[in-house]
Amino acid sequence: AIPARVRIIDVGPRDGLQNEKQPVPAAVKIELVHRLQDAGLKEIEVTSFVSPKWVPQMADAAEVLAGIQRRPDVRYSVLTPNMKGFEGAVAAGVDEIVVFGAASEAFSQKNINCSIAESIERFAPVVEAALAKGIAVRGAMSCTVGCPYEGDIAPEKVAYLAGLMKGIGVQRVDVADTIGVGTPRQVQAAITATLQHFGVDAVCGHFHDTYGQALANTLAALELGVWNFQSSVAGLGGCPYAKGATGNVATEDVVYMLHGMGIDIGIDLDKLIDAGQYISDFLGRKSGSRVATAIVNK
Ligand code: HMG
Ligand code: MG
């Protein structure tokens, strides 16, 4: 049965903006986070503590986190690839850190400059230190369906990575279709592989919409009982190490679908559309959300 409730992690400020070429001031990122929490988002992936040489747009991570008027019922998460990133995250006082690996060796090398095995060795002390401090830990798994360098990825590789993540103490995992090539049965296979190691409550769907499949994939994941999803306001984004990949499925589109299915997720669609409009206007771009576009043009 389709889950009765769904939780959305908006990754727009992080996944959405990390690849943005034009400078986005910290004040704009902070305002975006404020608007997302005003719209009812209870989880926001705010930024990344990564090398500024690799991802210049996230260089202001500490400043952004310091500027947010936090709410006690909102979980603020950040990406941390190593201990250096973790230290920054701790200093900024985050609720959850995200270690990020890949089911594909080639993508692991391109994205974080190490093999899958090496990445797990780097993550292990980060996870241990986070749990010791009472900080929640999520593990993102890129390329669970397809890889820009290796092509199709077998579910066995996803199960292998999920097992490694579980082994170092990661509490929940994101099953990511990084380049948005997956179709529903493939995404279900990646999720089923993940379920060998994690309970369904600990699995989040993270679908990029490059091929227009992300909403269908969201429904396919719901059919397996998955009820945590990542999406990006206005469909912002892409990954700097996945050329041509577009943003995550737009949060507005997911919310519209869930509302239509009678699943309440506590998000005010109008306020969410305003948040998407705010950042789209700043970027000088049309919203990537079909729902926002339809409603604004009505
Ligand atoms: P490296 O060059 O192998 O690392 O990069 P290093 O340890 O040799 O350090 C090199 C330099 O970076 C040093 O500075 C370090 O201090 C610095 P230098 O001495 O040259 O001046 N450095 C750092 N600075 C700030 N914060 C840090 C940090 N670590 C090292 N945490 C590294 C390895 C992992 C650091 C690098 O590859 C990196 O930062 N990669 C990040 C890539 C990234 O952010 N990708 C996008 C996010 S993942 C994604 O979008 C996918 C996802 O959405 C799911 C999906 O859709 O698939 C999650
Ligand atoms: Mg992503």
pLDDT in tens, 5-41: 999 999 999 999 999 999 999 999 999 999 999 999 9
Cα of 1 vs centre of ligand 2, distance in Å, is: 27
| Neighbour-count burial for 170-185, b at 16+ CB within 10 Å, e otherwise | bbbbbbbbbbbbbeee
User: 100, 139 in Cβ contact below 8 A?
Assistant: yes
pLDDT computed for residue 239 by the predictor: 64
Is residue 113 in contact with ligand 1, taking CB distance under 6 Å? yes
Residues 42-99 have pLDDT tens digits of: 999 999 999 999 999 999 999 999 999 999 999 999 999 999 999 999 999 999 999 9
* pLDDT at 241 (0 to 100): 72
Which residue has its alpha carbon closest to ligand 1 atom 23? 51
pLDDT value at position 243?
75
Q: Could you identify the residue written with the tokens 């890129």? A: 142
For the chain, percent of residues with pLDDT exceeding 90: 94
Both tokens assigned to 50: 């990564």
Nearest CA to ligand 1 atom 58: 140
Q: Is 239 in the active site?
A: yes
Closest atom, ligand 1, to C-alpha of 112: 37
The residue whose CB lies within 8 Å of the most ligand 1 atoms, and thus the one to mutate among 11, 46, 51, is 51
Reduce the secondary structure of the chain to three states and give it as a string.
CCCCECEEEECHHHHHCCCCCCCCCHHHHHHHHHHHHHCCCCEEEEEECCCCCCCHHHCCHHHHHHHCCCCCCCEEEEECCCHHHHHHHHHHCCCEEEEEEECCHHHHHHHHCCCHHHHHHHHHHHHHHHHHCCCEEEEEEECCCEECCCEECCHHHHHHHHHHHHHCCCCEEEEEECCCCCCHHHHHHHHHHHCCCCCHHHEEEEEECCCCCHHHHHHHHHHCCCCEEEEEHHHCCCCCCCCCCCCECEHHHHHHHHHHCCCECCCCHHHHHHHHHHHHHHHCCCCCCHHHHHHHCC
Across 258-279, average pLDDT:
96
Instruction: State whether the beta carbon of 202 lies less than 6 angstroms from ligand 1.
Output: no
Selection from 255, 236, 239, 234 nearest residue 247 by Cα: 236
What is the value of ipTM here, to two decimals?
Answer: 0.98
Cβ–ligand 1 distance for 175 under 6 Å, the answer no
Indicate yes or no: pTM above 0.90.
yes
50 pocket-lining for ligand 1 (C-beta < 6 Å)? yes
Residue 222's alpha-carbon distances to 218, 260, 288, in angstroms, are 6, 14, 23
Structure tokens at 163: 């097992």
Ligand 2 mean position to 178 CA, how many Å? 5
161 close to 193: Cβ distance less than 8 angstroms: no
